[in-house]
Every structure is written in structure tokens, then in C-alpha cells.
Structure 1
Amino acid sequence: MTGNSNHRTGQCHCGAVRFSVTLGDGFDSVRRCNCSYCRMRGAVVVAVEKAGFEILHGEDVLTTYRFNTRTAQHFFCSRCGISTHLQRRSNPNLLGINVACLDGVSPFDFTDVPVMDGVHHPDDTGVPARRAGTLRFIPD
């Protein structure tokens, strides 16, 4: 990871979608989710306030996927298929930004990534969000 600035830029794989973000808590909110979609997608995300996210170009190329309650919106590039960000179900004022899309950042920069229990989502169970485990990267 380069630098420790909370302002970052990013893009999808083909560069059709480009955006900037301001990370209010830096990378302290990095996480994964184990819901059916996120489990298959495999992205590590960081939370950003909606006001801290700006699409610089390519908004017309983004498309969305919704499932189950259709509250969360998963945004991805319609050209290369890369998921850039999502609007969260638990707090629609927060976005989850795919850290792999941020310039100079890799999901492998994070040794321990909390995995949240999206299978038992608080909106479905009525109990607070809980951590399901930890994804650990151990470089050779």
C-alpha cells in the first residue's frame, strides 16, 4: 500500500469506471462478508460515507445487481465485470469499496481481514452484527 492518505482514486480493470474516495477511518473498516453473493465474489471492502465517494467518469458504464431484499446494490463495470463498490444493506449511507480497485492497494496488503456474518444479517435476525471469522493472508 502506498502512502497513508485517506484520499484515494480507483478504477475497474478496464479503466472505463474511475472514482475517488475519502476514507473517513482509513483502512480500519476493511472486511469481508460471508453472505451468498459476497462469498462467491470474494472481495475485501472498506467502508466509505456516500458523501466521500465520487465517480470521476464511467457512471454510464456501471450496472447493478440486487438480490434477496433488493436493498443492497452491487455496482460493477458492464465492460470488464469488476465489482467496484456496493451500497450496503445494513447502512445505505455507507458504501463498501472494493480495495482491489483502489490505486496502489491490494487485498493482500491486509494480513487479517474480519469476515462479517452476512448469512445471519442483523436485518433478518434482529440481533447485532457479528463477526463470523477472520481471513488471514500469510505471505511466503
Structure 2
Amino acid sequence: MTDNHADERPVYQAACHCGTVRFSLRLTDGLRTVRRCNCSYCRMRGAVAVSANLSDLTVTQGRDALTLYQFNTGEAKHYFCSRCGIYTFHQRRSSPDQYGINVACIEGMSPFDFDKVPVSEGRVHPKDRPGGASNVAGWILYQANPEAGGD
């Protein structure tokens, strides 16, 4: 039996800052998965992320330029461009069948497109918490200054 239902989700193009690493993706649930995390690593990285299934991300250029970083349990796999240093995506520890994608890498998107971004409580990872529940630790708010002008 064949599946006659085409995937209606949009395909996004993404790249690191220097353009060496390029990838395409479909989001699992649109922009509804937007989040930050307050674990020791994410606090320093500072990226806003959205989710894509592993099968919905394809590196189209620069796979050999990706650098892998793992820490603590070694389960999460964080990928960076080895040339410009930008975090592109990571295989999630809490959902190993998904990538967290750096919103800033997605063409036409910015972390500042979101007025309110939930911050996941990552200081105690959901996998290390009784019941494995995810908690919101707080929110990051952004309000543009109308007097600031452009870039």
C-alpha cells in the first residue's frame, strides 16, 4: 500500500554564519516547539531552538566541516561549523529521535522574531527527573525598541 498523503510541512533552508554548512529541514510542529534551556551548556550557548525529526534534516553541504561536541552523559550530540563556530543543530537527549535546530541558522528567521520564548528547566534534565516531565523555568521576552531603527 502506498501513502498518497504528501508531506505538507514547509521545507526550510538553513546555514551556519559563513555558509560552509548548509542543511534543509522540516519542523516537527512548526514554530510551536520554540524554546531555550537553562542547563550549564545552553546557558552559555544562548541559542533559541526548534525541533525536527532526525529523518527531516538533510545536510546538503559541508558535512565534513561539522564538529561534534558531547558532554556529561554524552547522549546529546551538538554540531558546530568548524570554520565559523556557529552551533547549527543537536540530537536531543530528551528526544533522541529529534534534532534541536538553531533558529538563527534558518533562512529568514531570527531568535528576535519571538516575543516570548519558554526556557526549559535543564539544570536537572527531564531524563534525570522522576517521571521525566519537562518543566518551564521561565521565559525570555523580546520587545523591539521602535526608536532603535535597523541593524
TM range (shorter): over 0.9
Query: What residue is the counterpart of 1:105 in the other structure?
Result: 109
CA contact (8 A) 1:21 1:53 kept: yes
What are the residue-to-residue correspondences of 1:20-39 with 2, within 5 Å?
20-39=24-43
Letter of the 1:107 partner, please give it. P
Give 1:120 deviation, angstroms. Answer: 1.3
Q: Which structure's residues are more often strand, by fraction?
A: 1
2:30 paired with 1:13: no
CA deviations over 1:57-100 (Å, ceiling 9, x no partner): 10000011111101001100000000000110011101000000
TM-score, normalising length: structure 1? 0.94
Number of aligned residue pairs: give it. Answer: 136
Query: What residue is the counterpart of 1:120 in the other structure?
Result: 124
Look at both structures and tell me which one has the larger radius of gyration over its CA atoms: 2
Q: Distance in 2 between matches of 1:68 and 1:58?
A: 27
**What RMSD over aligned residues (CA atoms) do the two structures have, in Å?**
1.0
Percent identical: 52
Structure 2 gaps, min length 5 = 1-8, 146-151
Query: What residue is the counterpart of 1:130 in the other structure?
Result: 135
Q: Distance in 2 between matches of 1:126 and 1:16?
A: 41
Q: Which has the higher contact order (CA 8 A, sep 6+)?
A: 1
